[in-house]
Structure 1
Amino acid sequence: MPQGTPGLRKAVTMRYAVALYMSSVLGSGVLVLPGLAAQIAGPASLIAWLLLSLASYPLAYTFASLSARKPESGGVYSFARESFGQRWADAVGWLFIVWYVTGAPVVTVIAASYLSYAIPLSKEMIYVVAALIILGTFLINYRGIVISGKVQLAVIVAIVGLLLTAVIASAPLVRLENFTPFFPNGVLPIGTAAALIFWSYLGYENVSNVAEEFKNPERDFHRSIVFSVIVISALYFSVAFATVGTQAYKAGGSVAPFAAILSNALGVYGAVSTGVLAVFIIFGTVNAYTTGMSRVIYSVAKEGGLPRAIARINSTTGVPHLSLALLTGLGMITLAVSYFLSIDLQTALLIPSGAAILVYMIGSASGIKLLKGGRAKLFPWISLAVSVIMLPFVGPVLLISVAVALLGLYYRRLRGLRQ
């Protein structure tokens, strides 16, 4: 980097990393998927949650090991460049754009829809609230990574506290008979439920995008990932257990089981707290992704995979403000398209899932090539296998991500840029 050019600040500690991990992963999955998975597989959906919890550790460990090995802003983008060359790195960067600009709008709409349990909202107002969440995360991230990290800490404390309150409050309503028959639809639906639940575990790669800003990456990455995986898995399973045990997924709670759980346990206060909880969770998720994804776009643009002007860093705040603006603008456009086309929830979730799984496949393949010895060599293979198994369940919308990845692969050739 030339002298006088502002660089990314070394401001991320383990506390901030844990906050980013947890708020990246603890998102819309808690709000939607326990009920949808239970409808597909019944009580056996708990097996799917357990299997995905176990699989999440190799995924998280792979990205943490790659990041600790060579801290650099860009995460999987940087790993792909080192492993397979610049063109594949560009493809990853473009996939991240798809992931964010289609994922952020759908989860903010989910948050606003939950808020309507507490405050009646029209469709138009739901989308206004969703837009305000996206704009709010832009403003916070524009202030800088330290301020953003403090927001993450506050949000995650509120999330965990409210989740625990809901699980404990619903405990008296859990009935053993609600777990039988355990396989109401047979064994195979467990696989379908697991493919759907995979969305809930996306996000472990996000902190690797800010690796360049860690004060002590070798120590803090692995400590933060172990702590985060244990806590996230326990929270997910607890909420899924409460959903099945109270049969919230049958009482109009297939899409909003958390609302049903809190309403059953706490009455009208449950509905209000559900709306507030959803906004907190989604705000934390989008804020964390805005932080991570903006660094990816910064890295892609810096290397010429996008117009280099996007790689500018604000000299006052130390953040890549133009990449933040690009993501926010594209996210708002996607939100508008979603409103006018009335895209259904399942399709809306599958589009970013397809991009994310492709990114996970490339990241896992990078781990196979770059990491040496023991768990560091085994876990990337497990991660790759999990990603490949989930890919066919995405369906036709996967073609969107494939098309964008191909554009990323050939962008330089189209622009006449040197590799």
Structure 2
Amino acid sequence: MNQLKQEITLLSGIGQLSTTLMGTGLFMIPAIAAGIAGHFSLWAWLILFVAVCPVALTFAALGKKYPSAGGTAYFVRKAYNARLERAVAWLFVSVIPVGVPAAVALAAGFLQQLLPAQFNNAILAQVLTVVLLIGVNLAGTKSSGRLQTAIALSIFALVASFLWIGDVGSTDLVMPALSIDSIWSIGAALGVMFWCFVGIEAFAHMGEEFKNPQRDFPIAILVGCFVAGATYWACSVIILKFGAFGTPEFDSASIPWLSDKLFGSRMAIIISIIGFFACFASINLYTQSLSRMVWAQAREYRPNSALAQLSQRGVPANATWLIGGILLLSCVVGQLSNLDLEFFLKLANGVFVLVYLLAMLAAYKLLKGYQKALAVIALILCTGVFICLGWSMLYALVIFAALAMPWQKELKTQHPI
């Protein structure tokens, strides 16, 4: 058996993407963006959502036409060649040392609050998070989709309760007047905020597992992006109203602080549970997509290898164990390095934006008509965001340049039977 099971429905697809886009981002990015741009961050969210729409539509068109576990790497191969496909594939893997450990650390921070005192240790909480990730992934896509849909509903309920109890009114929704000075702060905020819409490229790896990819995959992307965008904007309104931004502590604890202020300490455990599973949902899809990307590469170029095999549940189990092991090692190194959370995010964003750029270049060559025009618009917008990243884009550029160099003759493509 060398084909993934088609078990993802439209509802579970929307649940998976929306929780992935919100996940870790909801608990840190609105506060970080507010710290950079203040009330102008509300404009930044609107600009980002408008910018993401062409990107989302282009990914939807690519996924509908070319559903594959290879995701962006597969799109690039269809448009260009196998060497660039492999470069994109391993560029995507390079996000593990910089992006995923930060997300796991955030999830583990919530988990620590739920553990008994004798087990209240940061590294232990991260190890438990990774072990749970591996277990959920080995259980299969269907079980994972149900879990993430339930998590999405709990996040919506949390944000809605903040709006209600926080007495958010029309005066809180007034947008500040734009000025020349505000443009620079909005641009700086966008460089961090793009993290909130990374996940579309990971979701592209799941296209092959939809029951009806041609119909449901594009709808899941569009609805998932809209739901996530609206939730982020609402959360930012609340954070700005109560001033839950501007310090390193708020960067990762604005939501727990708001919960304590609005509900009191009685909600602390519930917030910790929701926070953990929200962050977990985001990392879960990335673990799924990374393992499927490794499996897709093995299926294509090493079909007889252990990484190309599927379990009885139709899951790339060996690839999942490999990704889990790398993730575990990266988390330990990340914890010991004691680097700033924003530093990790910017490096990871560089990788994601470059992956988006390469996907849009592939779309320009593969798509036709208005879809090609959308790809051009998305390419320009992604280039603008890439420039906003400044020095942090060097990590992605150096890795991709090294991977794309013709160090060896291209392997002959071995297509699966």
TM-score normalised to the size of structure 2? 0.90
Say whether the 8 Å CA contact 2:112–2:121 is kept in structure 1. no
Structure 1 counterpart of 2:261, from 261, 264, 273: 264
Q: Which amino acid aligns with 1:283?
A: F
1:51-77 superposed Cα distances (whole Å, 9 cap, x missing partner): 111122211111111010122221111
1:37 to 1:390, Cα distance in 2 relative to 1, 3 A: same
Structure 1 counterpart of 2:296, from 287, 296, 299: 299
RMSD in angstroms over aligned alpha carbons? 2.8
1:250 to 1:260, Cα distance in 2 relative to 1, 3 A: farther
Which one is further off, 69-78 or 45-54? 69-78
Say whether the 8 Å CA contact 2:40–2:176 is kept in structure 1. no
Q: Distance in 2 between matches of 1:117 and 1:327?
A: 27
Structure 2 counterpart of 1:333, from 323, 329, 335: 329
Say whether the 8 Å CA contact 1:73–1:299 is kept in structure 2. yes
Say whether the 8 Å CA contact 2:91–2:351 is kept in structure 1. yes
Deviation at 1:307, TM superposition (A): 9.3
Deviation at 1:124, TM superposition (A): 7.5
Deviation at 1:152, TM superposition (A): 1.8
Count of equivalent residues:
412
Name 1:238's counterpart in structure 2.
234
Q: Distance in 2 between matches of 1:292 and 1:177?
A: 37
Residue aligned with 2:211, SS: coil
Q: Which amino acid aligns with 2:166?
A: S
Say whether the 8 Å CA contact 1:75–1:209 is kept in structure 2. yes
1:398 aligns with 2:393: yes
1:284 aligns with 2:261: no
Q: Distance in 1 between matches of 2:312 and 2:119?
A: 39
Q: Distance in 1 between matches of 2:178 and 2:31?
A: 15
1:137 aligns with 2:126: no
Consecutive unaligned residues in structure 2, runs of 5 or more = none
Name 1:148's counterpart in structure 2.
144
Structure 2 counterpart of 1:199, from 195, 206, 215: 195
Q: Distance in 2 between matches of 1:307 and 1:337?
A: 32
Structure 1 counterpart of 2:373, from 370, 378, 393: 378
1:110 aligns with 2:115: no
Name 1:367's counterpart in structure 2.
363
1:270 to 1:386, Cα distance in 2 relative to 1, 3 A: farther
1:241 to 1:329, Cα distance in 2 relative to 1, 3 A: same
Q: Distance in 2 between matches of 1:412 and 1:309?
A: 23
1:335-375 superposed Cα distances (whole Å, 9 cap, x missing partner): 1111221111111112221111110000011111111112x
Q: Which amino acid aligns with 2:397?
A: V
Deviation at 1:123, TM superposition (A): 11
Alignment of 1:66-81 (within 5 A): 66-81=62-77
Name 1:348's counterpart in structure 2.
344
Name 1:91's counterpart in structure 2.
87
**Percent identity (aligned):** 26
1:204-254 superposed Cα distances (whole Å, 9 cap, x missing partner): 122220211111111102222232122111111000111112212158634
Name 2:245's counterpart in structure 1.
249
Q: Distance in 1 between matches of 2:266 and 2:180?
A: 33
Alignment of 1:16-35 (within 5 A): 16-35=12-31
Deviation at 1:186, TM superposition (A): 3.4
Q: Which amino acid aligns with 1:400?
A: Y
Say whether the 8 Å CA contact 1:41–1:185 is kept in structure 2. no
Consecutive unaligned residues in structure 1, runs of 5 or more = none
Q: Which amino acid aligns with 1:13?
A: T
Residue aligned with 2:255, SS: helix
TM-score normalised to the size of structure 1? 0.90
